[in-house]
Chain A
Amino acid sequence: MKDWTLIGSINDIPRRGARCVMTPQGKIAVFRTMEDQVFAIDDQCPHKGGPLSQGIVHGASVTCPLHSWVISLETGKALGADEGSVKTIEVRLDGDRILARIEQAAMAAE
């Protein structure tokens, strides 16, 4: 079951930057664009697993630091000639607070 979970404040993330959130399902990368949109995707490039949270953020996409794949933050899909996609995580803003739909109950119940 997925709950809306508080993961931080938009002020924790620099514009055109990202922060990581550790979850039982792995590391996710939470991005803030120039226009203060917030997106979350798995912190793993579909190409060779590069940490997308470390890439350069431009528009609503990020360029992977390892081999420069460009990933859409909205869809998680690789842009341009590359093919592949990464899981996206639903996030929403409540004022400054960032909430994400993360599965934690299953783990907690174990």
Chain B
Amino acid sequence: MDDTMKKQKLVVIGNGMAPGRALEHLFELAPDAYDVTIFNAEPRVNYDRIMLSPVLSGEKEFEEIIIHGDGWYIKHGITLYKGHKVVGIDREAKTVTSDAGTTEPYDKLLIATGSVPFVLPVPGNNLPGVLTYRDLDDVNAMLLAAQSRARAIVIGGGLLGLEAAAGLKSRGMDVTVLHIMPTLMERQLDPAAGYLLEKAVEQRGIRVMTKASTKEVIGIKKVEGVLLADRTILPADLVVMAAGIRPNGALAKEAGLDTNRGIVTDAGMHTSDTDIFAIGECAEVGGQCYGLVAPLYEMARVVAAQLAGDASAAFVHSETPTKLKVTGINLFSVGDLGEGDDRQEIVLRDAAAGVYKRLVLKDDRIIGTVLYGETSDGAWFHDLTKKRTDISEMRDTLIFGQSYQGGSPLDPMAAVAALSDDAEICGCNGVCKGKITGAITGKGLTSLDDVRAHTKASASCGTCTGLVEQLLSLALGDAYNPAAVTPMCACTDLGHDDVRRLIKAKRLKSIPAVMQELEWKTSCGCAKCRPALNYYLVADWPDEYADDYQSRFINERVHANIQKDGTYSVVPRMWGGMTSSKELRAIADVVDKFDIPAVKVTGGQRIDMLGIKKEDLPAVWADLGKAGFVSGQAYAKGLRTVKTCVGTDWCRFGTQDSTGLGIRIEKFMWGSWTPAKVKMAVSGCPRNCAEATCKDVGIICVDSGFEIHFAGAAGLDIKGTEVLGMVKTEDEALEHVVALTQMYREQARYLERIYKWAKRVGLDEIRRQIMGDAEKRKAYFDRFVFSQKYAQVDPWSERVSGVDKHEFQPMATIGYQQAAE
């Protein structure tokens, strides 16, 4: 036995960002020193907690924010106990034990238990419907609650609370933020910036109540509202407590370690037991606890060096800028913003542009910075603070930013070029400019993802992505395009939007013309770009473009849905979901005649016949056609169904003829090709039996008219619709729905559903064009009507009469005859 070869056992309690980073460093410094075991109270791998807000708002998926997938743990031989909460540390025996009864011995122990959300000590704080905002489980619970589109109250107007509020709002909830202080984010912002922020938050339709002190959460079995100290009662179905966090030192305290606000450590991150370290939000180093990621990563670096044997590694305090991750609100704040006799300030206000900048100076040096609305100089100001640069020479122009130093304005690229090598680019990960440019040239990196993989810059909160892209651009010149869009496919460098624009601008009217003029890299495209191009050309030149049949996916080529065994399913139109005994009898006859194995009622109020052999399709359609059926286009990137309720025809609550309007819309719009499928619904009253509020386009009838909705989803994503506006008559309802669809047809990327397109171009822009601009609306409507002249041809009857006959029969049958003889 060689004792020097024996690995020590390192046990880690907690699997958040800090210990994850510490282990990355440790495996670099001393890959074979430790056998690592991790206890994670959450039942999953390590993910980027900072990015939970984009997951809540729907801008990212959970999979996109995973830092270490299962493979990473396997590769490094780590034992990961998922869903194990450690309940005890035995320092005598040097073991830890989890709630599942697992006990593991350690040589070194790393405590990274993070923090717990602060729950207001008020009556009712434990009612069902009261949530905190801390981990993925909280986000999932909020998403579930948001599905009801009910009322949410967020308690806390700090970073976390505002991100939660914006996320819930974008998920369709009615949101109110309660903040106990007079202005939002008062710890990071001065009152002026806090006021601007409040206005911007309110503009998003989120109600903000400041100086609001919560006295009680009311409700019997679940949350029903919040009672404020001034006796105001606010009704609510969901209450999110985001009033701060507390270091989670309970486990360490029970084990007899020194704790204060957090677990007390020295600069080397040792607790009062030299074999036990603490890092992350639970640690208190130099008398301070931290909640932003940059200092936590610094702790990770220190503890890894200590574990690898470098006893001199020490944590150094530094100021960390605050940024709010709410799309469309730019704010940057760092340092000391207090007023005082020994301090001066420079302030720039541009109320019209929504810009506010304030620098706090002391002894000709910047000690605090608040930027609102325009934050691109944040890194530069922060750098001047860190270096204690004397700014007296540039004081007159300082507030205008780096571009204005030295005479003429610099362009943003030159500003980045002018940064010194030790200027910090990525605050979260503490990556300076020199490290990034060094990696780009030294390792031959060419993309943002490369830089993220090698340096971690812009890999956490992502707000410095623009700077990193500019550095790539500086290093690589024309070889890198900072505004790079994702190409349509490997056949071209152009993105969907550029291709759509160029098809119109260059008047390209065939797929070969597009490929020639836009310099396609392949001779005849691929299965990704050809269907997209075919759609763009059909949509842009309805009268001139000859549909390229071979560029359509099989379903659109044979006008049926391919199934896993190669058979097809067929769905005829049932206008507005209405049918008759004659139609049902015809379907029954077809099912019997062709021995169709399965018949199913669809979610779109019609009937699906499954398991039809391809050779039988034309004969099936011929029989269905005789009974008056046409294709339901259940296979198309086009108008699918218009679901209806029975409206005033039958329903005692109906306010309008929803069935009639649904049928009218379906008969007007069937046959149109769209970027992705379009499903609609018309409900005859706000009880909404046709479920119009999760459709691509929906109409809710009310006594006074028609409320038009759009951009809902009920598939991979679940999202309630947005309101486009109210109209008074059926004619207007039809015109608005058609114009909206045409706008979508002209602008969206292939396979992009309406809700994704709407999010990209902005709901207000769509409302402005469709509701606010009658001329534009009419023009969209007319273009749709024109295109329908060429689109409304029933594909089934075409094929019954012989179109594409070759598609349905084998070319030859060989060998059977002889074999049968």
Binding site for B on A (CB under 8 A): 5-8, 12-17, 19-24, 27, 30, 34-35, 48-51, 54-59, 63, 65-66, 68, 70, 102, 104, 107-108, 110
Is the CB of B581 closer than 8 A to any CB of chain A? Answer: no
**Complex: A27 Cα to B812 Cα, angstroms:** 10
Chain B residues whose C-beta falls within 8 Å of the C-beta of A6 in the assembled complex: 812
User: Do the beta carbons of B815 and A108 come within 8 Å of each other?
Assistant: yes
The CB with the most chain B CB atoms within 10 A, among A17, A22, A23, A54, is that of A54
**Complex: A66 Cα to B527 Cα, angstroms:** 12
Q: Knowing A34-B524, A50-B566, A58-B526 are in contact, say whether A21-B814 is a contact too (CB < 8 A).
A: yes
User: Do the beta carbons of A68 and B819 come within 8 Å of each other?
Assistant: no
**Complex: A21 Cα to B558 Cα, angstroms:** 18
Q: Knowing A14-B549, A19-B806, A58-B524 are in contact, say whether A65-B812 is a contact too (CB < 8 A).
A: no
Chain B residues whose C-beta falls within 8 Å of the C-beta of A8 in the assembled complex: 811-812
Is the CB of B553 closer than 8 A to any CB of chain A? Answer: yes
**Complex: A35 Cα to B523 Cα, angstroms:** 10
Who on chain B is nearest to A34 by CB?
A: B524
Binding site for A on B (CB under 8 A): 522-527, 530-531, 549-555, 557-558, 562, 564-566, 806, 810-816, 818-819, 821
10 cross-chain pairs, A with B, having the tightest CB-CB distances, nearest first? A108-B818, A63-B527, A19-B811, A104-B815, A56-B527, A16-B550, A54-B554, A24-B815, A8-B811, A22-B813
A-B contact pairs, 6 of them (CB 8 A): A14-B550, A22-B816, A23-B815, A24-B815, A49-B565, A108-B818
Q: Which of A12, A14, A108 contacts B819 (CB 8 A)?
A: A108
Q: Knowing A23-B814, A34-B524, A104-B814 are in contact, say whether A66-B550 is a contact too (CB < 8 A).
A: no
Q: Which of A19, A34, A66, A110 contacts B523 (CB 8 A)?
A: A34
**Complex: A102 Cα to B806 Cα, angstroms:** 22
Taking the nearest CB of chain A, how far is it from the CB of B789, in angstroms? 27
Q: Knowing A56-B530, A56-B531, A63-B526 are in contact, say whether A51-B814 is a contact too (CB < 8 A).
A: no
Chain A residues whose C-beta falls within 8 Å of the C-beta of B553 in the assembled complex: 56, 65
**Complex: A23 Cα to B810 Cα, angstroms:** 11
Who on chain B is nearest to A35 by CB?
A: B523
User: Do the beta carbons of A56 and B524 come within 8 Å of each other?
Assistant: no
Chain A residues whose C-beta falls within 8 Å of the C-beta of B522 in the assembled complex: 58-59
User: Do the beta carbons of A17 and B550 come within 8 Å of each other?
Assistant: yes
Chain A residues whose C-beta falls within 8 Å of the C-beta of B550 in the assembled complex: 14-17, 56-57
Chain B residues whose C-beta falls within 8 Å of the C-beta of A27 in the assembled complex: 810
Chain A residues whose C-beta falls within 8 Å of the C-beta of B552 in the assembled complex: 56
Who on chain B is nearest to A44 by CB?
A: B566
Taking the nearest CB of chain A, how far is it from the CB of B43, in angstroms? 29
Who on chain A is nearest to B525 by CB?
A: A58
Taking the nearest CB of chain A, how far is it from the CB of B524, in angstroms? 5
**Complex: A57 Cα to B549 Cα, angstroms:** 11
Chain A residues whose C-beta falls within 8 Å of the C-beta of B806 in the assembled complex: 12-14, 19
**Complex: A102 Cα to B94 Cα, angstroms:** 73
**Complex: A56 Cα to B489 Cα, angstroms:** 15
Chain A residues whose C-beta falls within 8 Å of the C-beta of B531 in the assembled complex: 56
The CB with the most chain A CB atoms within 10 A, among B553, B554, B558, is that of B554
Q: Knowing A56-B551, A57-B550 are in contact, say whether A24-B810 is a contact too (CB < 8 A).
A: no
